[in-house]
C-alpha cells in the first residue's frame, strides 16, 4: 500500500495526511475556495481547527502561500464556506447511500438498525431535540456504533428525499467512513474535540 502524501498546515506547520486537512485554493474570480477532494494546482493546506484558521487569516498565510493578493476574508466566512462545502458533499453521499438502501431513517427504522447492530453510523441533526438525540446516542455508544451530530433536520431530510429527520442511521461501513471523514473537516474549536484531534 502506498502511504498517503503528507502536507503541512499553513498555520501550525504540522504535517498530516492530505485527507485530514482542508485544501484552500484560488478560483478564477480571485476568491478563495475550499476543496475537499485534494485537487491539483496551487493550494494551501490547513487543519480543520478554529485556531489554525484564525491564525492563517490573521497572518495572511493564504496570500503568502498562494503568492497572490487576496481580498480580505474573515475566519467566520471561511468556516462558513467549509461547513457549506462539507454539508453539500455529505448530502450527496447520503443520497447515494439511500439509493443503495444503506440508510435507515425515521425513528422506528433507526431503532431497528441500532438493535440489530446494522447501523455503522448514527447521524443526529444539530437542531434535533436533546431528548431524541440522547436516546439514540446512548444506545449507539453502548453498542460501539459511531455517533456524530451535524447538519439540520431539514437538510438531512432533503438529502434523503424525505420529511425532516432528527436521526438517521448509515448501515454500510464505506458510506459511514466517508461521511465521518468529511464531517471531521468541519472546523472545531471546542475543548473536547480539540483534544481528540491533537491525540490522533
Ligand atoms: Zn494547523
pLDDT score of 197 more than 60? no
Alpha carbon of 109 to ligand 1 centroid (Å): 40
What pLDDT is recorded for position 165?
97
Same domain, 68 and 119: no
CA distance 105 to 123: 10
CA distance 42 to 62: 11
Q: What is the mean pLDDT of residues 87-105?
A: 97
Alpha carbon of 51 to ligand 1 centroid (Å): 8
Give the whole-number percent of the chain exceeding pLDDT 70.
91
> In the chain, how many domains are there?
2
The CA-atom distances, in angstroms, between 28 and each of 25, 33, 60, 62, 179 are 10, 10, 20, 16, 29
What pLDDT is recorded for position 40?
67
The CATH number of residue 150's host domain is: 3.30.1330.30
What three-state secondary structure class fits 186?
coil
In a domain, 78, yes or no: no
Residue 189 banded pLDDT, cuts 50, 70, 90: confident
Alpha carbon of 58 to ligand 1 centroid (Å): 14
Half-sphere exposure of 49 (CA within 13 A, CB side): 20
- Which backbone phi and psi does 186 adopt, to 5 degrees? -75, 125
Same domain, 113 and 48: no
Q: What is the pLDDT of residues 100-142, one digit of tens each?
A: 999 999 999 999 999 999 999 999 999 999 999 999 999 999 9
Instruction: Name the domain boundary from 73, 96, 115.
Output: 73
Alpha carbon of 43 to ligand 1 centroid (Å): 15
CA distance 111 to 120: 13
Q: Closest Cα to residue 183, out of 132, 122, 109, 138?
A: 122
Same domain, 63 and 90: no
Average pLDDT, the chain: 90
CA distance 54 to 154: 30
Same domain, 105 and 64: no
Alpha carbon of 49 to ligand 1 centroid (Å): 7
Instruction: Name the domain boundary from 45, 73, 101.
Output: 73
Same domain, 90 and 64: no
Same domain, 40 and 110: no
Alpha carbon of 45 to ligand 1 centroid (Å): 9
Q: List the grid coordinates of 2.
A: 502506498
What pLDDT is recorded for position 119?
97
Q: What is the pLDDT of residues 46-71, one digit of tens each?
A: 999 999 999 999 999 999 998 888 87
What pLDDT is recorded for position 39?
67
pLDDT score of 37 more than 90? no
What pLDDT is recorded for position 38?
61
Q: What is the mean pLDDT of residues 7-33?
A: 90
Alpha carbon of 149 to ligand 1 centroid (Å): 23
Residue 1 banded pLDDT, cuts 50, 70, 90: low
What domain range includes position 67?
A: 6-73
Half-sphere exposure of 187 (CA within 13 A, CB side): 23
Same domain, 63 and 114: no
CA distance 20 to 184: 8
Alpha carbon of 52 to ligand 1 centroid (Å): 5
Alpha carbon of 142 to ligand 1 centroid (Å): 33
Alpha carbon of 2 to ligand 1 centroid (Å): 24
Instruction: Name the domain boundary from 23, 51, 73.
Output: 73
Same domain, 104 and 168: yes
Q: Closest Cα to residue 51, out of 178, 200, 199, 197?
A: 197
Amino acid at each position: 500500500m502506498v502511504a498517503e502524501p503528507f502536507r503541512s498546515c499553513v498555520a501550525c506547520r504540522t504535517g498530516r495526511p492530505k485527507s485530514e486537512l482542508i485544501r484552500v485554493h484560488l478560483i478564477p474570480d480571485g476568491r478563495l475556495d475550499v476543496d475537499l477532494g485534494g485537487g491539483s494546482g496551487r493550494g494551501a493546506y490547513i487543519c480543520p481547527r478554529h485556531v489554525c484558521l484564525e491564525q492563517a487569516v490573521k497572518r495572511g498565510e493564504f496570500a503568502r502561500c498562494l503568492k497572490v493578493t487576496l481580498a480580505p476574508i474573515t475566519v467566520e466566512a471561511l468556516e462558513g464556506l467549509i461547513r457549506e462545502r462539507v454539508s453539500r458533499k455529505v448530502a450527496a453521499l447520503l443520497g447515494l447511500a439511500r439509493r443503495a438502501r444503506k440508510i435507515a431513517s425515521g425513528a422506528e427504522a433507526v431503532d431497528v438498525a441500532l438493535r440489530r447492530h446494522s447501523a455503522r453510523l448514527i447521524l443526529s441533526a444539530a437542531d434535533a431535540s436533546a431528548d431524541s438525540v440522547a436516546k439514540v446516542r446512548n444506545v449507539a455508544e453502548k453498542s460501539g456504533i459511531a455517533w456524530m451530530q451535524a447538519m439540520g433536520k431539514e437538510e438531512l431530510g432533503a438529502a434523503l428525499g424525505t420529511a425532516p429527520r432528527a436521526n438517521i442511521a448509515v448501515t454500510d461501513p464505506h458510506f459511514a467512513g466517508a461521511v465521518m471523514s468529511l464531517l471531521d473537516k468541519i472546523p472545531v474549536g471546542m475543548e473536547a474535540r480539540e483534544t481528540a484531534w491533537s491525540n490522533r
